[in-house]
Amino acid sequence: MKVLLSVIVFTLYTVSYAQNMKMIDTSMPKKDKKDAVVIEYDSLTNIRPYKDASYYKQFIGQSILFYPRNPNSSESLPKYYANFLTSNEQVVAIDTIWRKKRSNPKPKDYKLNQITSKRYKPQLVKDNYVTLCASFHDILEQGYRIFPFEIYRATKCPMGKRDGIFTPYNEIEGKTFKILDIELSDAEVEENTIFALQSEEGDTLYWYAKRGEYDGFSYTRQHYPVIVLGFMDKMKQLYLNKDIYIKNIHPINKYKCMEIAYSGSEDTYMVPSFVLKNDSADLIMPLCESPSLFSYEVSIFDNQKRMTQMYFYNLDVVEAEVYEETMERERLAKEELLMKEKLAQEEAKKLASIKRQQRTKELYKKYGKATADLILKGQVCIGMTKAMVLESWGHPSGGINKTTGAWGIHEQWVYGMGQYLYFENGKLTTIQN
């Protein structure tokens, strides 16, 4: 039976989106400003917060998909967004203001008042949960995170239910939009990245996404709840229906990318994920991290646990063919190196043998067989000359103590480990161990 390896607790269902999405060429009025250096988008990364203006320009013209929520998500989660606007007022409802009520009203008895709003797809909301799309969260002193942080900052309490005019979540989540322009708001007013978007129906709207702030720590876990379709298409082109190896998950196993599906828990967005399979396991690997959004408390320890989870964007993924070719080249190179080392060792042994034979021949010639055999064994004996001892033991490590008198020359050779040799007039007379 296959083992299901879940990288995160998830509910999984397969999704697809239109490959040839209708794109309407609509330009937006732009402010007069200095031209920024534009980075060309290579489709190898998803869009991120806390970047400068030049970074965001590469995404103009790209289409983004807002992550959907789990269809089994809790009813207590926010159902409306407060940060999608349009340029024009739209009539949301007609409110009747009565001047005089009677059974047969006349036109002068009442006034019709239009309730309008610049919210995208506006809807009257009564006593329901509202949030901000891409509302990042901060660490609180009590060790908990309450988000969205803007609501906490304003109310000093977790989000409650609200009345007003807001955008239903199903008008955003799971939908694709084309990026027409991206501007950074004045930081002194509100730190937002303002996305000018175009819906599939051709409507223009503005997404006021919190800019985010990089503080040098991964605690923030800031991610926009969108994926650039160009990035997802690129990942599919590179890996879908292909065999791969993941080099930084051990043991290194071969997987086949079977499909892209949405995965996520009941209280998070569902993010596009690769379904990886092999003979022994199925692995669900999200392409990107699922951002936190909804307004309840999450312990810091849960957040730290998220930091240990694996996501496709931070894996060392290699196509199987490339990986196996690389491994084969490394194997052949290793074999070649081992062969060279073996040949070098054999050559060294051969040279050493030749040197030993030459030394044996020379020692036999100089000192005779009996003495030469002792020298070759590293031994000394009484009566040896200093030259013979040097051939056998080498120069004394502790030095030589010499005494000269009427009797001749007396020498003490000091070797290690308490060994001493004594010479009288060049002949070994005493061995002390």
Q: Strand locations in 251-398, DSSP E?
A: 254-264, 271-277, 281-286, 297-299, 317-319
CB atoms within 10 A of CB 407: 9
Q: Report the alpha-carbon distance of residue 348 to residue 327 in Å, rounded.
A: 31
pLDDT at 50: 77
Beta bridge partners of 412: 401, 422
Sign of torsion over alpha carbons 66, 69, 70, 71: negative
230 with 334, same domain: the answer is no
143 with 185, same domain: the answer is yes
99-106 mean pLDDT: 81
* Highest-scoring range by mean pLDDT, 181-185, 298-302, 422-426: 422-426
Contact (Cβ atoms closer than 8 angstroms) between residue 422 and residue 411 = yes
* Residue 130: pLDDT band with limits 50, 70, 90: confident
Instruction: Give tens-digit pLDDT for 252-297.
Output: 888 888 888 888 777 678 889 888 888 877 788 888 877 665 544 4
Q: What is the DSSP string of 369-388?
A: HHHHHHHHTT---TT-BHHH
362 with 385, same domain: the answer is no
Kind of pairing, strands 281-286 and 3-6? parallel
68 with 116, same domain: the answer is yes
pLDDT at 185: 79
- How buried is 305 (Cβ within 10 angstroms: 0-12 exposed, 13-18 middle, 19+ buried)? exposed
* Residue 37: pLDDT band with limits 50, 70, 90: low
352 with 378, same domain: the answer is no
C-beta pairs of 369-373 under 8 Å, 24+ apart in sequence: none
Residue 171 lies in a domain: yes
Instruction: Give tens-digit pLDDT for 106-123.
Output: 778 777 888 899 999 999
Residue 43 has pLDDT above 50, yes or no: yes
pLDDT at 368: 94
Instruction: Give tens-digit pLDDT for 315-331.
Output: 777 777 887 888 888 88
**Higher local confidence (pLDDT), 200 or 134:** 200
pLDDT at 110: 77
182 with 325, same domain: the answer is no
Q: Report the alpha-carbon distance of residue 373 to residue 44 in Å, rounded.
A: 74
Residue 264 lies in a domain: no
CATH code: domain of residue 399: 3.30.1450
Instruction: Give tens-digit pLDDT for 203-231.
Output: 999 998 877 665 554 444 567 889 999 99
Percent residues over pLDDT 90 in the chain: 39
Domain that holds residue 343: 320-366
Instruction: Give tens-digit pLDDT for 139-178.
Output: 444 444 444 444 444 444 445 678 889 999 999 999 999 9
**Higher local confidence (pLDDT), 188 or 346:** 346
Q: Report the alpha-carbon distance of residue 270 to residue 288 in Å, rounded.
A: 10
49 with 158, same domain: the answer is yes
358 with 373, same domain: the answer is no
Residue 124 lies in a domain: yes
pLDDT at 104: 84
325 with 213, same domain: the answer is no
**Higher local confidence (pLDDT), 29 or 244:** 244
* Residue 304: pLDDT band with limits 50, 70, 90: low
> Across the chain, what does the average pLDDT equal?
79
Residue 163 lies in a domain: yes
Residue 303 has pLDDT above 90, yes or no: no
Residue 302 lies in a domain: no
Domain tally, the chain: 3
